[in-house]
Amino acid sequence: MEQFDIVVIGSGPGGYVAAIRAAQSGYKTAIIEKYSTLGGTCTNVGCIPTKALLDSTHHYHDALHKFEVQGIDIQGLKLNFKQLYKRKSEVVTKNTQGLNYLMKKNKISVIQGLAAFKDDTTLHVTGQDGAIRNIQAGKYIIATGSKPATISGVVLDKKRIITSTEALSLEEQPKTMVIIGGGVIGVEMASIFSRIGTKVTILEYADRLIPTMDSESGIALQKLLAKEGIEILLKQSVFKTENAGDTAKVWYKDTAGQEQSLTADYILVAVGRKAYTDQLGLENTKVQLDKRGMIVVNEALQTTAPNIYAIGDVIGGAMLAHKAEEEATFVVERIHGGNPHIHYDRIPSVVYSWPEVASVGATEEELKKKQVAYNVGKFPFSANARARAGMDTEGFVKVLVDPKYGEILGVHIVGARAADLIAQAVTAMEFEITVNEVGKISYAHPTYAEVLKEAYILASGQPSVNI
């Protein structure tokens, strides 16, 4: 029986951060991963490869549509699809190699195999060769993440009816693609393929894209994607798909309740993700699941077995890599005797389209529902000098603030560099800096960040000198 202080199950962003923090705190630590590489979904088939393709296709799209007006004449421009995907794979490899280095540096035992609880204190880990290792630990941290979900009538065959995972390993560029779901994953996949010439159609059940974000952001994003040639059909109810060999077909009911169908090279299902607890042996423990299959935890992220903790996608909430990382640090600090905290309403969300969409805090819809008074400060990128110079004038910053004290309640950005700009808003909210104060500090000129400043100024009730 191998003995450890802390064993982490799953090596995604939550898992590897938990393992590193535990080792740095002096605990004998092991991390268990069933796949041959560390990093989980995010590093291998999620955040990282997706961003690599988004970056590459963004450059290609700019070359097609912006270079000429900038005085850059490119003759014979063409896309090398295989190289596009090869670079993506190289980025992933460098990240997984970095994780291997961090495990060695921090003297963390890496165990490859499928972990299953025998009871609350013991694990069996079955390797690919069938060999079983018996492990005991004082504390366990479950960080097994999530897997793609589907809907009734839609069977994922991973050939023609695929998820984002399969989309990241295609052999050739599809001519047509239908994406079921207009959330973050669906929009990012649509952006990647549309930019390189694939005819993309999004079928979304809700009345707008990214329904969890502020409605104005979703509406603006829809207009921007439509400009790129992406067909977006809202309020569509998908009920069936079929692999037709060289193509796939999807059936849905439109807003009038009439049955419609579309045929494409691939049907990409992006309707969300569900907690991954398969074969984990939780039935042998005191750990409980809720009706959605999520692991039940308390405020300390302890399960109903006090020595077993759970973090990240497997406990629900926003399924974000950086949320899992925050929870990883939180749990280890708790185990170590600290009293950390997480403000979940101050964890940002990002859509890596272009322009990007980012938000933190409350939406207008949430404030109205709770009958909370608020002021709005909104400033467009089109009035920003840096945005004009960079030909990135689409979008806006919208700031929602408490009218009495100037507390920032929410910030929503549609525009260039939104994913990076939102960090300043998170800082202001986390440390309760008022809108008056954050609007008075000096911002370098010309920068995209000045759009934030102007929105802060307007939200505080002061006039802007730039509009």
3-class secondary structure for 151-186?
Answer: CCCCCCCCCCEECHHHHCCCCCCCCEEEEECCCHHH
Asked if residues 346 and 422 have their Cβ atoms less than 8 Å apart, the reply is no
Q: Which residues contact 458 (CB under 8 A, 6 or more apart)?
A: 376, 377, 378, 379, 399, 464
Asked if residues 247 and 225 have their Cβ atoms less than 8 Å apart, the reply is no
Query: What residues pair up with 249 in beta bridges, in sequence order?
Result: 242, 263
User: Which tokens is 378 given?
Assistant: 């909104």
Secondary-structure breakdown of the chain: helix, strand, coil percentages, each rounded to the nearest 5: 35, 25, 40
Asked if residues 301 and 311 have their Cβ atoms less than 8 Å apart, the reply is yes
Kindly name the residue from 59, 65, 343, 445 that is annotated as catalytic. 445
Is residue 445 annotated as a catalytic residue, yes or no?
A: yes
Query: What residues pair up with 7 in beta bridges, in sequence order?
Result: 30, 140
The CB-side HSE value for 196 (13 A sphere, CA atoms) comes to 22
Query: What are the DSSP calls for 259-325, one per residue?
Result: EEEEEESEEEE-S-EEE--TTS-GGGSS--B-TTSPBP--TT-B-SSTTEEE-GGGG-SS--HHHHH
Asked if residues 49 and 41 have their Cβ atoms less than 8 Å apart, the reply is no
Helix or strand holding residue 113 (H, E): none
Closest to 252 (Cα-Cα) out of 153, 175, 150: 153
> CA 399 to CA 458: how far, in whole Å?
9
Is beta strand 356-361 parallel, antiparallel or unpaired with respect to 408-415? antiparallel
DSSP state, 463?
P
DSSP state, 255?
T
Any idea which residues carry the catalytic annotation? 445
